């Protein structure tokens, strides 16, 4: 039994990657395993997870096509994050609870930064203010070539309409080139901050990915530190 998942207690772990990379499934599995091993954990997603964050999510959805400027978009994601850190993430970490986050500043760096053109340093500066300098212990990037991500999304009912929402908008409103840049943005971050990022290929089976993620977590939080 992989008892070393216990070393995740009180850690802040982010899962990120291109839409369709399988984050939700993998986070479900990890959450279940942590529960089995009595490691307290909370799960959050961005944008959203707090009442204010859900309003911001709605605003982001409905503002597409209304000329929302990329810097305003970036600040809305950050505002949701500021609230989430204040309401959920910091209190949980202070109690020794592991936090599993579906997206964080890594998404803003990839989408609004690398792909959207906002300088990396500007985003890092805003993130520092929004989160009072709270950075994840580890960010796991589930990496998928763009064609595979698109195929997965379109291959049917695996994701419900709620999960498809923002992605569909993006596919319709923005070109594939944008998503290629997003992927490059995630990979760029992992090269810039190799001590805080791990990249896992999302091309294999769910079971393969699950094993690789568990291995990466255990190595990082026990051997690696
Ligand atoms: P969502 O429907 O929650 O999908 P997913 O399951 O892929 O996370 O969509 C979130 C979308 O918001 C996704 O396309 C990425 C985007 N996003 C940004 O552009 N910047 C950010 O800072 C965050 C947190 C998300």
Residue range 6-36, pLDDT digits in tens: 999 999 999 999 988 889 999 999 999 999 9
Using a pLDDT cut of 90, give the percent of the chain over it: 70
pLDDT bucket at 61, cuts 50 / 70 / 90: confident
Q: How far is the CA of 47 from the centre of ligand 1 (A)?
A: 7
Nearest to 84 by CA among 103, 58, 97, 71: 103
Domains plus CATH for the chain?
6-222 (3.40.50.300)
Q: What is the pTM of this model?
A: 0.89
Beta strand residue intervals within the chain, DSSP E? 12-17, 41-45, 98-102, 138-143, 197-201
Confidence (pLDDT) at 144: 87
Residue 187 pLDDT: 97
pLDDT at site 170: 53
* Max Cα–Cα distance, the chain, nearest Å: 52
Ligand 1 lined by 168 (C-beta under 6 Å): no
Give 64 Cα–ligand 1 centroid separation in angstroms: 13
For ligand 1, pick from 165, 167, 189 the residue to mutate: most ligand atoms within 8 Å of CB: 167
Rounded to whole angstroms, how far apart are CA atoms 193 and 105?
A: 13
Average pLDDT, the chain: 88
- Mean pLDDT lowest among 119-133, 139-153, 205-219: 139-153
Q: Is 15 in the pocket of ligand 1 (CB under 6 A)?
A: no
């Amino acid at each position: 039994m992989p008892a070393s998942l216990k070393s995740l207690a009180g850690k802040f772990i982010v899962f990120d990657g291109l839409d369709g990379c399988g984050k939700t499934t993998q986070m479900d599995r990890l959450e279940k395993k942590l529960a089995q091993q009595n490691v307290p954990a909370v799960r959050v997603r961005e944008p959203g997870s707090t009442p204010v964050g859900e309003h911001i999510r709605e605003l982001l959805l409905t503002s597409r096509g209304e000329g929302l400027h990329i810097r305003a978009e970036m600040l809305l994601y950050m505002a949701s994050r500021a609230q989430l850190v204040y309401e959920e993430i910091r209190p949980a970490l202070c109690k020794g609870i592991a936090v599993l986050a579906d997206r964080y500043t890594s998404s803003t760096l990839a989408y609004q930064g690398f792909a959207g053109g906002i300088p990396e340093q500007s985003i890092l500066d805003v993130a520092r203010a929004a989160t009072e300098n709270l950075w994840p212990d580890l960010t796991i990037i589930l990496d998928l070539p763009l064609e595979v991500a698109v195929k997965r999304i379109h291959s049917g009912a695996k994701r419900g309409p709620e999960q498809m929402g923002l992605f569909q908008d993006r596919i319709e409103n923005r070109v594939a080139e944008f998503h290629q840049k997003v992927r490059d943005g995630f990979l760029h971050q992992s090269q810039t901050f190799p001590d805080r990022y791990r990249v896992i290929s999302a091309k294999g089976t769910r079971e393969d990915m699950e094993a690789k993620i568990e291995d990466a977590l255990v190595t990082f939080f026990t051997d690696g530190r």
